[in-house]
Structure 1
Amino acid sequence: MKRLGLTVNAGIFCVLLTLNVLGHPMQNDSIHRKNSLGTNINSSYDEQNPILSVDGKVLYFTRKNHPENSGGKKDKGDIWFSRLGEDGNWEKAERLKGPINNKNYNAIIGFSKDGKLMYLQNHYSRDGGATKTQGVSVSKLIAGQWTFPEKLTIAYYYNKSDNPSMRISEDGRVMLLSIESYDTKGAEDLYVSFRNRDNSWSQPTNLGGLINTEFQEMTPYLGKDNITLFFASNGHGGYGSRDIFISRRLDNSWKKWTKPTNLGKSVNTKGVELSYHLPEGDYAYYISTQNSEGFGDIQRHRITEEIKKPDNLIDLELLDNIDSINATAQEPELPNINVQKTDRVIAILGKVVNANDLKQPVRALLSYRQIDGGDQVESTYSNDSSGTYQVSLKEGYSYHLTVSAEGYMSTEERITVSQTNAPSVQKYYLLTPLEVGTTVNLKNVLFERGTSNLLEDSYNELNSVIKMMQENPNISIELRGHTDNQGSGKLNLELSQKRVDVVKAYMVEKGIRNFRITGKGFGGTRPIASNASEDTRKLNRRVEFTIVKN
């Protein structure tokens, strides 16, 4: 029998399914037995991340813990390949020789259009050991051999997930990432980064709440149209542990998407499905643990011409220039990051909408205070009827931004106007309405492990809540503390109550009247995610508040 504890790393997938196809799934057990690529490809080890060469004649994938890997049975994953035989079948897989594989995790995330550049997950060290930096690398094909991978620059890249995955678009201009970063909503979220003319990459921008959930979004792939998104998730419902979904981009903010649709039982099963990939040709490739030979196996199934046709859901006038969407985003506090300052002015434009109703525009004040080079303030209001706004900021400078609107929870962030070849960049904001019953998860209110001692980084978010209550004196809130289900239920209940008491005490100390704040600890009795793994247990360890009076 197949184990379902698949460790996820890099992955890619692409298939364009119509609603008619999704509405008529086949019996997936027989499908997945038939779809397996067989023992020339699949083994009793963990196969991951299938990707075809540009000419479609070589299938690459990552194989974990194989004794022939660089690090032997403890190796996290080496790249293997199989050639397409003249009879149309895949030949016996071989491990890729050369500097591409080492004792760390190795995975291909894309090729250049001419097939002479191979993009790889992670950085490489010359001695083959662990690296101190994160990101992606590139190798060149010279005289039939792949060169030592050199790292690429991604502005402000940071990931704390053990299971990141990435994919570069077919045209080489867009990178999708599944990482846990500064503004992640839960576990792994999907982000987008854009290639600059100097071959560096822009700071990853979160794809927003229509795609990302408080669970895991993984193995993203962008279709050839740069509009159609495919990803695996356990946060949108489905048939099993992780299913593959499709969504389409509606504008160039990269935050407005169609509702993710499950690809149905012709692909998804009770097991884990990941890394869907549709190259040129008749077959789509993906990873499944259902009826497999080992942990994760590579499957394929035939795709019809009808399935390949995208539906016309997109306002193409909004997508006429992909180079105009090097979005500004939250800038982390990182040392030794120098952004070149210029006198060039960049137009920042976008939209402010209601987080609970994305069709409802919000009139908000956007105030940008220049952090470096003076205290200049630029302010603008978003339009009453459309929510759109525009402000001009200096390229290369950092700003502290506050977005506020009457009746809504304000949001603050630090942004940098990064170098871009376009005259404008776009950014959307979703404001949470201050309505009775609204619950806000204080994601950055954190404690020392197993204690009620607040970490220093918690105070910025707490101060924002205090400011909101000062500006809205009629609002009363209930603080709620939660833990996972590990350890003693009684101790968890006591710890969650202590944390609520600490948060309340801080807010009262800062001037909020005691009667406006109630609080209760619930221990591990109200999980919002599974407690089966650490990746999802940490989502249950949280402090939140609910508006109970306004």
Structure 2
Amino acid sequence: MRREFFKLIAPLFLITPAFSQTPDSLIYAEGNIISAETKEPVTARITYQSVPYGNKVGVLNNNTYSFPMFEMEKYSIMVEAPGYQMAKYLLDPAEAKGENKLVRNIELTKGSHVTGQRVAVGNVIRLDNLIFQVGRTKIGPESYEELNTVAKMMQDNSDMVIQLEGHTDYQGDAKENNKLSQGRVDAVKSYLVYKGIQKNRIKTKAFGGTQPLSREDTPEAHRMNRRVELRILEN
């Protein structure tokens, strides 16, 4: 009798795997890497990581990319190729609008440094020669050449609107890091305005230490994380 009872109720019990997200519910980010000038494929180093904590990371070397966006997290994607400016985008799974794919093709612009040529909207340029005193917002004289080049680029492209994005490393107090990164982009904006660029063409955003390029606990990694990036909003 007991055996018959269990035969009757067994179909009522289902074992559900303890996964937080099934494959059918995953959204995949994918796209092609192409030259903005020729529209031909470009093989690049593609680095992606979830934000703000960067606990999910990956590196690809190809002219296309595809990766799953777990837990509906946003992902930062950085694309680098020899002879081209670095491009950086933020991918938001909400942009998929109910589909299981978020397609974003990325165009790379010729040139490894800030130049006066036309730059594609969405591109991010890291200001590698922008130097600040440790823990301060004062711009060092060795930074003037690169900032003068940025000013010239904006003068040559009168419709260009940029966003200056400030980053610190992730050490120390989060509020102080955010304040420091805001102070640094404000200082860069003031310099560009001094050079004749209208205020309304320069937006600023502070990230503090929430978007590190590396999670390695080394002086080199921390130095790389302390940066200002220039994002093209309009052009």
Q: Which of 165, 187, 208 is the equivalent residue of 1:480? A: 165
The CA deviation string for residues 433-469 of structure 1, in whole angstroms up to 9 with x for no partner, is: 6111100000100100010011111011000000000
**Gaps spanning 5+ residues in structure 2: where?**
1-42, 48-56, 63-81, 88-108
Q: Report how far residue 532 of structure 1 moved.
A: 2.3
Query: 2:166–2:229: 8 Å Cα contact kept in structure 1?
Result: yes
Query: 2:18 maps to which residue?
Result: none
Output the aligned Cα RMSD. 3.5
Query: 1:510 maps to which residue?
Result: 195
Q: Report how far residue 535 of structure 1 moved.
A: 2.2
Q: Is 1:449 aligned to 2:109, yes or no?
A: no
Q: Report how far residue 528 of structure 1 moved.
A: 1.5
**Aligned CA distance change for structure 1 residues 438 and 534 (closer, same or farther; 3 Å):** same
Q: Give the whole-Å Cα distance in 2 for the aligned partners of 1:487 and 1:525.
A: 12
**Aligned CA distance change for structure 1 residues 439 and 432 (closer, same or farther; 3 Å):** farther
Query: 1:463 maps to which residue?
Result: 148
Query: 2:185–2:205: 8 Å Cα contact kept in structure 1?
Result: yes
Q: Report how far residue 355 of structure 1 moved.
A: 4.6
Query: 2:83–2:112: 8 Å Cα contact kept in structure 1?
Result: no
Q: Which of 182, 201, 221 is the equivalent residue of 1:536? A: 221
Q: Report how far residue 520 of structure 1 moved.
A: 1.4
Q: Give the whole-Å Cα distance in 1 for the aligned partners of 2:134 and 2:176.
A: 14
The CA deviation string for residues 126-181 of structure 1, in whole angstroms up to 9 with x for no partner, is: xxxxxxxxxxxxxxxxxxxxxxxxxxxxxxxxxxxxxxxxxxxxxxxxxxxxxxxx
Query: 2:162–2:233: 8 Å Cα contact kept in structure 1?
Result: yes
The CA deviation string for residues 515-548 of structure 1, in whole angstroms up to 9 with x for no partner, is: 0001011100111111422221211100011001
The CA deviation string for residues 410-433 of structure 1, in whole angstroms up to 9 with x for no partner, is: 858xxxxxxxxxxxxxxxxx9986
Q: Give the whole-Å Cα distance in 2 for the aligned partners of 1:453 and 1:482.
A: 15
Letter in 2 for 1:549: E
Q: Give the whole-Å Cα distance in 2 for the aligned partners of 1:511 and 1:432.
A: 19
Query: 1:501 maps to which residue?
Result: 186
Letter in 2 for 1:493: N
Query: 2:122–2:232: 8 Å Cα contact kept in structure 1?
Result: yes
Q: Secondary structure at the match of 1:522?
A: strand
Q: Report how far residue 210 of structure 1 moved.
A: 5.6
Letter in 2 for 1:451: R
**Aligned CA distance change for structure 1 residues 355 and 479 (closer, same or farther; 3 Å):** closer
Q: Give the whole-Å Cα distance in 1 for the aligned partners of 2:177 and 2:214.
A: 17
Q: Secondary structure at the match of 1:527?
A: coil
Q: Give the whole-Å Cα distance in 2 for the aligned partners of 1:472 and 1:431.
A: 8
Q: Give the whole-Å Cα distance in 1 for the aligned partners of 2:183 and 2:86.
A: 31
Q: What TM-score do you get using the length of structure 2 for normalisation?
A: 0.53
Q: Give the whole-Å Cα distance in 1 for the aligned partners of 2:140 and 2:202.
A: 21
Letter in 2 for 1:438: N
Q: Which of 124, 132, 135 is the equivalent residue of 1:439? A: 124
Q: Give the whole-Å Cα distance in 1 for the aligned partners of 2:211 and 2:170.
A: 10
The CA deviation string for residues 18-76 of structure 1, in whole angstroms up to 9 with x for no partner, is: xxxxxxxxxxxxxxxxxxxxxxxxxxxxxxxxxxxxxxxxxxxxxxxxxxxxxxxxxxx
Q: Secondary structure at the match of 2:213?
A: coil
Query: 1:547 maps to which residue?
Result: 232
Q: Which of 181, 204, 208 is the equivalent residue of 1:523? A: 208
Where does 1:109-124 land on structure 2 (aligned, <5 Å)? Answer: none
Which structure shows the higher helix fraction? 2
Query: 1:481–1:520: 8 Å Cα contact kept in structure 2?
Result: yes
Q: Give the whole-Å Cα distance in 1 for the aligned partners of 2:175 and 2:197.
A: 30
Query: 2:124–2:232: 8 Å Cα contact kept in structure 1?
Result: yes
Where does 1:228-247 land on structure 2 (aligned, <5 Å)? Answer: 237=59
Overall identity of the aligned pairs, in %: 40
The number of equivalent residue pairs is 144
Q: Give the whole-Å Cα distance in 2 for the aligned partners of 1:411 and 1:442.
A: 8
Which structure would you say has the larger RCO, counting Cα contacts within 8 Å and 6 or more residues apart?
2
Query: 2:180–2:208: 8 Å Cα contact kept in structure 1?
Result: yes
**Gaps spanning 5+ residues in structure 1: where?**
1-208, 214-234, 239-257, 260-351, 358-406, 413-429
Q: Give the whole-Å Cα distance in 2 for the aligned partners of 1:408 and 1:475.
A: 18
Q: Give the whole-Å Cα distance in 2 for the aligned partners of 1:529 and 1:432.
A: 30
Query: 1:355–1:433: 8 Å Cα contact kept in structure 2?
Result: no
**Aligned CA distance change for structure 1 residues 433 and 473 (closer, same or farther; 3 Å):** closer
Q: Secondary structure at the match of 2:208?
A: coil
**Aligned CA distance change for structure 1 residues 516 and 410 (closer, same or farther; 3 Å):** farther
Where does 1:53-452 land on structure 2 (aligned, <5 Å)? Answer: 237=59, 355=85, 411=113, 434-452=119-137
Q: Report how far residue 489 of structure 1 moved.
A: 0.6
Q: Report how far residue 503 of structure 1 moved.
A: 0.3
Q: Report how far residue 409 of structure 1 moved.
A: 6.5
Q: Give the whole-Å Cα distance in 2 for the aligned partners of 1:409 and 1:514.
A: 27
